[in-house]
């Protein structure tokens, strides 16, 4: 069977291990790009777009880890 091109928000929520509401919020904030399909406007996320989103979050986490490592130990205690 071929790999699905599009995922529902239920699928996205399951993959990210978040609630449907959290997945919907990512779409509404345009952090995760999705399209609306059909008369009821059901949201669909392309699998490549979800992968891009995940990779972007990992890149942000790495950048945050680098930034945190650059802060001297004594500077952390003054926050």
Classify residue 30: in a domain, yes or no.
Answer: yes
Residue 64 sits in a domain of what CATH number? 1.10.1660
Predicted confidence (pLDDT) per residue in 18-43, tens digit: 999 999 999 999 999 999 999 899 99
Classify residue 13: in a domain, yes or no.
Answer: yes
Give the domain range for residue 52: 6-70
Distance CA 29, CA 31 (A): 5
Classify residue 49: in a domain, yes or no.
Answer: yes
Classify residue 42: in a domain, yes or no.
Answer: yes
Classify residue 75: in a domain, yes or no.
Answer: no
Please give the distance of CA 38 from its chain centroid, rounded to a whole number: 24
Distance CA 21, CA 78 (A): 37
Classify residue 25: in a domain, yes or no.
Answer: yes
Classify residue 76: in a domain, yes or no.
Answer: no
Classify residue 61: in a domain, yes or no.
Answer: yes
Q: Does residue 7 carry a pLDDT above 80?
A: yes
Q: Does residue 77 carry a pLDDT above 60?
A: no
Enter the pTM of the model.
0.76
Structural domain tally of the chain?
1
């Amino acid at each position: 069977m071929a790999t699905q091109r599009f995922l529902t928000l239920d699928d996205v929520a399951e993959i990210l291990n978040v609630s449907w509401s959290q997945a919907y919020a990512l779409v509404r904030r345009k952090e995760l790009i999705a399209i609306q399909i059909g008369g009821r406007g059901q949201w669909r996320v392309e699998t490549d777009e979800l992968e891009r989103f995940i990779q972007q979050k990992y890149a942000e986490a790495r950048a945050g880890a680098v930034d945190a490592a650059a802060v001297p130990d004594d500077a952390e205690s003054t926050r």
